């Protein structure tokens, strides 16, 4: 399946809305929500929901940060994994989850970088307000949301736009390795549950 330029833009916009939406306390940056939007745009909701559901089960454990740990980002399986499963023949939701984990980890580094860059926003906003610069104050207060929206659009757009090149790489993977990734992806939800239970069952 080929992704059109318009579809790539729509996926970018959807990623932007979902990634920046989490800053408002709503659960838009979840694999199931992200995947559903991709499924609607590409016209394959069942496959998208399959990837989103498998990813949600896995992220119950290793997708939740414990203490100071930084979990993988749901955009990995929610956007990249769903695109793989819908556009590439032979990629199951389980193997798409396993293939998307490196992207999930890399995107989380980007999220941490944005938070780090915006760490001084409170002081900058206070200075702007004290100087009665209301325009600058509004901008500083919203810069984090803007960066997440722009970053989300770029991630979603380029993930969709570069999918043909990624398909070539995936198709070059031997069948035995793809089957192994499907098995590994199927085990990730169990690992996620085990991590949750290891905490809940501690006396």
Give the chain as a DSSP string: -PPPHHHHHHHHHHHHHHHHHGGGT-TTSSHHHHHHHHHHHHT-HHHHHHHHHHHHHHHTTTTS--TT--PPPTHIIIIIIHHHHHHSTT--HHHHHHHHHHHHHHHHHHHHHHHHHTTTHHHHHHHHHHTT-HHHHHHHHHHHHHHHHHHHHHHHHHHHHTHHHHHHHHHTS-HHHHHHHHHHHHHHHHHHHHHHHHHHT--
Residue 15 pLDDT grade (very low, low, confident, very high; cuts 50, 70, 90): very high
**pLDDT above 70 (res 107):** yes
Domains held by the chain: number:
1
Q: What is the pLDDT of residue 165?
A: 76
**Domain span holding position 57:** 5-200
Residue 43 pLDDT grade (very low, low, confident, very high; cuts 50, 70, 90): very high
Q: What is the pLDDT of residue 188?
A: 63
Interval 137-166 mean pLDDT: 91
**pLDDT above 70 (res 63):** no
């Amino acid at each position: 399946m080929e992704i059109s330029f318009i579809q790539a833009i729509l996926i970018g916009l959807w990623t932007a809305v979902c990634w920046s939406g989490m800053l408002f306390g709503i659960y838009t940056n979840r694999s199931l929500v992200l995947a559903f939007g991709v499924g609607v745009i590409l016209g394959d909701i069942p496959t998208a929901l399959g990837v989103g559901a498998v990813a949600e089960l896995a992220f119950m454990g290793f997708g939740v940060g414990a203490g100071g740990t930084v979990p993988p980002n749901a955009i990995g399986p929610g956007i990249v994994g769903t695109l793989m499963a819908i556009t590439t023949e032979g990629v199951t939701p389980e193997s798409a989850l396993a293939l998307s984990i490196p992207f999930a980890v890399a995107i989380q580094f980007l999220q941490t970088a944005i938070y780090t860059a915006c760490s001084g926003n409170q002081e900058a906003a206070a200075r702007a307000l004290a100087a009665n610069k209301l325009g600058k104050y509004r901008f500083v207060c919203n810069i984090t949301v803007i960066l997440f929206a722009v970053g989300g659009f770029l991630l979603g757009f380029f993930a969709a736009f570069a999918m043909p090149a990624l398909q070539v790489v995936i198709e070059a993977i031997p069948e035995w390795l793809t089957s192994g990734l499907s098995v590994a992806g199927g085990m990730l939800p169990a690992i996620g549950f085990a991590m949750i239970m290891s905490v809940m069952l501690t006396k």
